[in-house]
A and B are shown apart, each in its own frame.
Chain A
Amino acid sequence: MTQDRTEALREFRAELRAWLADNRPEAPSFRLPQSFLEVESDAQFEFLRDWQRRVYDAGYLGFDVPEKYGGQGVDNDKKRITVQEMVRARTPFLVNVIGLHWAGPTILMYGSEAQKQRMLAPLLRGDEIWCQGFSEPEHGSDLASLQTRARPSADGERYHVSGHKVWTTLAHVAKWMILLARTGSEGQGSPAAEKSSAAKYAGLSYFLFPMDAEGVTIQPLVKMTGEGGFNQVIFDEAPMPKDALLGKEGQGWQVAMTTLAFERGAADPAARERGAQLVALFERLASLAARIERDGAAVIDDAVAREKLVALRIEAEALRWSGVRAAVPGLCSERPMVLPLMSKLTISEFNQRVTDLAVELLGAEAQLWLEDAHAIDAAEWPRAYLNSYGFTIGGGTSEIQRNILGERVLGLAKSK
């Protein structure tokens, strides 16, 4: 890196840090969602969207998108620095998660010029929110067997979608959906043919579907916490123009795998900061243990509690350094791809263990729920424990992650 460049990046970081200090929003009067699984009310959504707009308008969002599509021009260093500084400043998350991290990069890879021109700027600014329509009631882990159909109209100008998508996060506020549907033309469409594994994949196509189309019904689903935030989407001959297709007909599986790779977290530019976040999550747990008492003594002074806490603290540290090590190829030579591939599994399970231990330490207090005036920390620990299953299931379950690791990394025989 040239001296000028280094200097320019240093300045960039300093400016950004100052900007964040001035612009980081004050905590709202309502509960601020901590992840995109928790966006429920309009007020929450607008607050978060407003934050994303301000970041974009200030020129700090879109360092993976060329300027002609509304981005800042591809600049990995600046992207890394912005992620690092935002994590450091503990800003709210950018609400268009599916758009920014999964749909956007996929469109950049497979989109036509017109699609890139149309979609990317409003996506970055949060003006248009994206959701993901992959899973169906009967087909979750076995995604490739999905049955939602997109049928071309007689004049070839549009497709009509019929089917049922479920667990669709953010669909209630989304303008667009990345939709995986079956286009298998006549002949290919027979149930028997679709069962055969090759045809199952070949019959899939990937669309950028407009959520305001006719024939679309969005029904809120209630999460196990009793809160809202995700949905099911029912399509009844819902029309979309033919240029909603991303990539080619029949290429859907390949495109979807690209999206899932983004979703499950490729190399993380802010590994160190994220590692620090995991340790910070643990520290919240430790502070809980220091505040609550059992028979007059702080729980953190209890020998059994301490053993369990330390074991988790070690885990946090191991995850922290694994994130950093992933960027040092010479220290990953034994199995080069394993660290990124295992991060979704390990981080979601760590999160679950932390929240699980929190409810264990809370003992008799753990059963108090959100509205109870005596609930410790407003019952965020039991809520976080329940929510932890969202992460071990969503985005491919832990079991599926273990299959992938066993088969792709260790080369064990397929389980099917």
Chain B
Amino acid sequence: MTQIPDDFGFQADHGTLRQMARRLLAERAPLSRTRELCERGGDDEGHAFDSGLYQDMVGLCWVGLDIDAARGGMGMGALTLSLLLEQMGRVLLPSPFLACSLAARALATVTEPRTAIDDDDEEEDESGEGDDSEPSTLDRIIGGDCIATVALSEPGRGAAGLALDYAHVQTSAAVDGDDTLVLRGEKNHVMWGTEADLVLVPARLRDEQRLGWIAVPLPCEGVEVSPEIGIDPTRRTARLRFDGARLPATALVADADDAERISRELLARGLTMVAAEVCGALEGVLELTATYAKERLQFGKPIGAFQAVKHPIVDVMVDVELARSLAYAAAAAIDAGVDDDEQLQLARMAKVKACEAYHHAAGRGVQLHGGFGFTYDCDVHFHVKRALFARATLGDATLHRRALAAALFDGDTRRAALAVVERGGLTLSM
């Protein structure tokens, strides 16, 4: 049985990459730059993120870092990507990097794209591989020519949000004629949907019996992209309405089992990546708060000398470390190729732990900055807002706790747990 290695698969060159990322981002994207971007509504090119920096990240091969070399990526693991995202989180980098990484991953997952038109049809190779005249979508994402994103959520799901599997997706793709798909439905909270050149959309196919993933180029007739007005100024999201948008059959990048596989993989990877990014943001808010506690004097001493200030900061630090261990473990589980269910369980845990800890830490951050913390001038509000955003991304804590409870406490697992006790011999100790 595969298990996570004792060293999490960490190698020295991962450390080098992290150092480099840290230095680059400290120079190019400190929080002051993020603030400036947010206040000006974008960069000089009219992007809501720093598009120059994004192109430099593309140049460093960060986009596609975890994609197989054979498909044009760097062939590095989820842990490496996590270490990068952690550094981006630390400065609250406004960037479609995560959305693009997930979209690239989803495309790379599909080995045999199929058409939805006829089940018995011979399989056509639509991947574009071996056809070097025109770069594939994946190539264009990795090369920085295409900002891509994934539509993970539907309004019909309400507070639960996440709609990735057949049971929850309501958007439909009907077949019209031989080679046309007609999309109807609505997606919300689409990360960087307003900036995207391409969105991957999960939809119920034809007879509504299967899930499919459809690549929709933007802009597109019959697709209305409306920006959402979000609480987190470092993130852009959109609501997408598909009102009979017509797409060629080749837009179907994955069908049935392949589609469910993309969904599972996107969920496990996505949660793991969000957890890593949030761990970085946690580090950021901890630093901000600890620094203030050393500098701000009241009653003749730094406020950090008061235990009512010191101990909550320590609790935040402890949480950061615990969250980080889980985030790395979740990434290492993916790299080691442990059992799918275990990967997903760890990913859910990592995401919940990181986001709950972050929400708490950001709140303490405001409180411990006093009146200054309540002002727009103090950076800590960026964290409060990012924490709300992160909690809502890819399913909230309630959704994941419920899924975990079902996996951990029901059916066979419960029978196994009871058997352990019948055998006896477990100790209650430290």
Q: Which of A68-76, A217-225, A280-288 lies at the interface?
A: A280-288
Point out the residues of chain A lying under 8 angstroms from B424, CB to CB: 27
User: Which of A281, A327, A334, A415 is B307 in contact with, Cβ under 8 Å?
Assistant: A415
The answer to whether B10 touches A331 (Cβ under 8 A) is: yes
Point out the residues of chain B lying under 8 angstroms from A399, CB to CB: 307, 311
Point out the residues of chain A lying under 8 angstroms from B214, CB to CB: none
Q: Which of B34-42, B104-112, B325-333 lies at the interface?
A: B325-333
Task: Determine whether B362 belongs to the interface, using a CB cutoff of 8 Å to chain A.
Answer: no
Task: Determine whether A139 belongs to the interface, using a CB cutoff of 8 Å to chain B.
Answer: no
In whole Å, how far is B414's beta carbon from the nearest beta carbon of chain A? Answer: 5
Residues of A within 8 A of B (CB): 27, 34-35, 90, 93, 272, 277, 280-281, 283-284, 286-287, 289-291, 300, 306-307, 309-311, 313-315, 317-319, 321-322, 324-325, 327-328, 330-331, 333-335, 338-339, 342, 345-348, 351, 380, 384, 391, 399, 402-403, 405-407, 409-415
User: Which of A306, A317, A345, A411 is B405 in contact with, Cβ under 8 Å?
Assistant: A306
The answer to whether B428 touches A330 (Cβ under 8 A) is: no
- Beta-carbon contacts of B407-428 to A below 8 Å, as 1s and 0s? 0110000100110110011111
CA A306 to CA B402, docked complex, whole Å: 8
The answer to whether B430 touches A287 (Cβ under 8 A) is: no
Task: Determine whether B374 belongs to the interface, using a CB cutoff of 8 Å to chain A.
Answer: no
Q: Is the interface of B mostly helix, strand, loop or mixed?
A: helix
The answer to whether A334 touches B408 (Cβ under 8 A) is: no
Chain B interface residue count, Cβ-Cβ cutoff 8 angstroms: 58
CA A409 to CA B313, docked complex, whole Å: 11
**Closest 10 interchain pairs by CB?**
A412-B304, A413-B305, A318-B322, A321-B325, A321-B329, A322-B325, A34-B429, A406-B310, A306-B405, A413-B302
Task: Determine whether B157 belongs to the interface, using a CB cutoff of 8 Å to chain A.
Answer: no
The answer to whether B427 touches A34 (Cβ under 8 A) is: yes
Residues of B within 8 A of A (CB): 4, 6-8, 10-12, 14-15, 18, 283, 290, 293-294, 301-302, 304-307, 310-311, 313-315, 317-318, 321-326, 328-329, 346, 349, 352-353, 398, 401-402, 404-405, 408-409, 414, 417-418, 420-421, 424-430
Highest count of chain B CB atoms <10 Å: which of A307, A315, A407, A413: A413
In whole Å, how far is B91's beta carbon from the nearest beta carbon of chain A? Answer: 15
CA A348 to CA B318, docked complex, whole Å: 13
Q: A345-B318, A384-B428 are in contact. List 13 more A-B contacts (CB 8 A).
A: A34-B427, A90-B427, A300-B414, A307-B405, A318-B326, A321-B329, A322-B321, A324-B329, A325-B328, A328-B6, A338-B317, A403-B310, A411-B294
Point out the residues of chain A lying under 8 angstroms from B349, CB to CB: 313-314, 317-318
Closest to A334 in B: B283
A284-B428, A300-B409, A412-B304 are known contacts. Are A310 and B328 too (CB-CB below 8 A)? no
The answer to whether B326 touches A321 (Cβ under 8 A) is: yes
CA A362 to CA B323, docked complex, whole Å: 30
CA A9 to CA B357, docked complex, whole Å: 41
Closest to B310 in A: A406
The answer to whether B12 touches A330 (Cβ under 8 A) is: yes
